[in-house]
Structure 1
């Protein structure tokens, strides 16, 4: 399953944090390095091994598509193997990120995604890329259409649900807390549809955090949620409790998707005042914690992460 945002990865020291969207996928890291040197055959082999694990395929293509030289090497691969659906999928992913960065038109990126979609009708990845594009450059209707196509091909697609939650959370900026916002209804519906044991059980908490992020960025809420009624409300408690129950029932801690949801749970627990359970989660996450869910212009997410983690573990705020 997909591990959307990048994790914290401690490099030269405890205060030196770097982000790697590969999220510890060693095969992906190796293929990405090879692609920067033009060795697209290693990406071909990686995607062949990935097969129809749609969550993993989507994650790998998104990470590869963000590479600065990916578009050029994907074109070379397409010239060598014009009928390759994997080459088309890689080119589409690269086109989406180039369009999002303003380096080519969104229309060109959409065409590339549709070409990839026609070559592999069962693959949700071209539609996932269209959802990424729609979030950056498209309309609300385009976001919904792309998400529906993702979900129609893989009902539990993790990255697709997280992206749609972010899209909805970013709509209708208001002057304060809005407990009936559509993002909450969507998250509760998706979690209920997913059933017991699904990682999407954490989606209501994700919605709460993503909506807080939007309101904090707009200045409608303070940048630090600690002590806000918003975080001690029945909605917050219910969301955290449901997500924590999911975590307790979840098996297979080696799964590459797991750190993202544990991060949401840990910060949800911390800001709901459950520091004991938050400490247990921070211990479980270790150095694989993802970016602090609420990140705004005047707040250092790395410092916020260290402060929250140390406080929850009983080390103080330094």
Structure 2
């Protein structure tokens, strides 16, 4: 357990030591450890998470291209190639780079090929969902499909369903769907995103990371309001906010192990429980995080988005207060 005042570290591998070792090799331009790690990955949830993290590091290198050149029939290499080209297209889009128009179709064709090379793998469909957000005007028919419930908005529901056939309640697939819904319009669209998050969490089984999804929407709403609707932090102690935090804690956190949990999910849960004044539960999540943290959602609390240090300070204040209150046996300090 990290000491209250100890500076947390951002590490995309988190508690996954095997992934951390593979990432170090990828950064050095070597792919053998990545191949060995993926060969040993037994669940689709771990496969999805590890391929995403590996691609984030590999996207700035030629390491996956070298692997594919050495082993052109490797399914894992083909999936990683898809991950990398999609990551590059998404980065270009975020930076409004002119190469987006070139990288987007390349990434789509890689996804399409991967769906045939790896027909039982959810990742190619997750990647197609990630690319859907580049179709900002929803010109593609598959990005404005009818929803499964009348209160939900049109969107890439077929892609989500394909990912779900291969890995039901896939965490990244649902986050990609949420990201697709976020930028489209103002408060009405954000309400639809909230409706999607509630629908996904409500249909998820115990232990599913989808129970954390509504906490992301609450942070996004707070961020877009600039804190205006959060006078005296009432945004976080409202009845529905407290209910969402408790639901995520009891339906997800208490039923999973550290190596099954996303660091980003744990940070959102710790943040929500602290904001809801649920300090004993928040302290448990901070303890599970150990020495790690993620800048979001803490940066949403920082003035003007905060510099590099302010979100860390907010995290440390929340961790110290939660642990202090938990040791004192009360909800509030």
User: Which TM-score bucket, shorter chain as reference?
Assistant: 0.7 to 0.9
Distance 1:192 1:75, change over 3 A: same
Further displaced range: 119-128 or 290-299: 290-299
Contact 1:202 1:246 in 2 (8 A): no
Q: Hey, what does 2:107 align to over in structure 1? A: 109
Contact 1:50 1:57 in 2 (8 A): yes
Describe how 1:274-313 pairs up with structure 2 within 5 A: 274-296=278-300, 297-299=304-306, 300-313=310-323
The reply to whether residue 20 of structure 1 matches residue 17 of structure 2 is no
Gaps of 5+ in 2: 93-98, 145-154, 326-333
Cα drift, residue 26 of structure 1: 1.9
The 2-side partners of 1:113 and 1:97 are apart by 12
The 2-side partners of 1:97 and 1:272 are apart by 35
Contact 1:36 1:70 in 2 (8 A): no
The reply to whether residue 241 of structure 1 matches residue 231 of structure 2 is no
After superposition, give the CA deviation of every residue in 1:195-252 in whole Å (9 maximum; x if it has no partner): 2333322323333233333x14xx3x349x473443233321221222222256414x
The 2-side partners of 1:293 and 1:24 are apart by 19
Cα drift, residue 108 of structure 1: 0.9
Distance 1:63 1:259, change over 3 A: closer
Query: 1:122 is paired with a residue of what secondary structure?
Result: coil
Distance 1:258 1:41, change over 3 A: closer
Describe how 1:93-132 pairs up with structure 2 within 5 A: 93-102=83-92, 105-132=103-130
Cα drift, residue 69 of structure 1: 6.2
The 2-side partners of 1:203 and 1:19 are apart by 21
After superposition, give the CA deviation of every residue in 1:62-91 in whole Å (9 maximum; x if it has no partner): 111122566522222222222221111111
Gaps of 5+ in 1: 1-8
Alignment root-mean-square deviation, CA? 3.1
Aligned pairs, number: 293
After superposition, give the CA deviation of every residue in 1:30-82 in whole Å (9 maximum; x if it has no partner): 2222233443233222222114x211111111111122566522222222222
The 1-side partners of 2:291 and 2:73 are apart by 42
Q: Hey, what does 1:54 align to over in structure 2? A: 44
Q: Hey, what does 2:23 align to over in structure 1? A: 32
Describe how 1:1-318 pairs up with structure 2 within 5 A: 14-15=6-7, 17-51=8-42, 53-68=43-58, 72-102=62-92, 105-135=103-133, 137-139=134-136, 141=143, 144=156, 145-174=158-187, 181-213=191-223, 215-216=224-225, 219=226, 221-222=227-228, 225=230, 227-247=232-252, 249-251=254-256, 253-257=257-261, 259-296=263-300, 297-299=304-306, 300-314=310-324
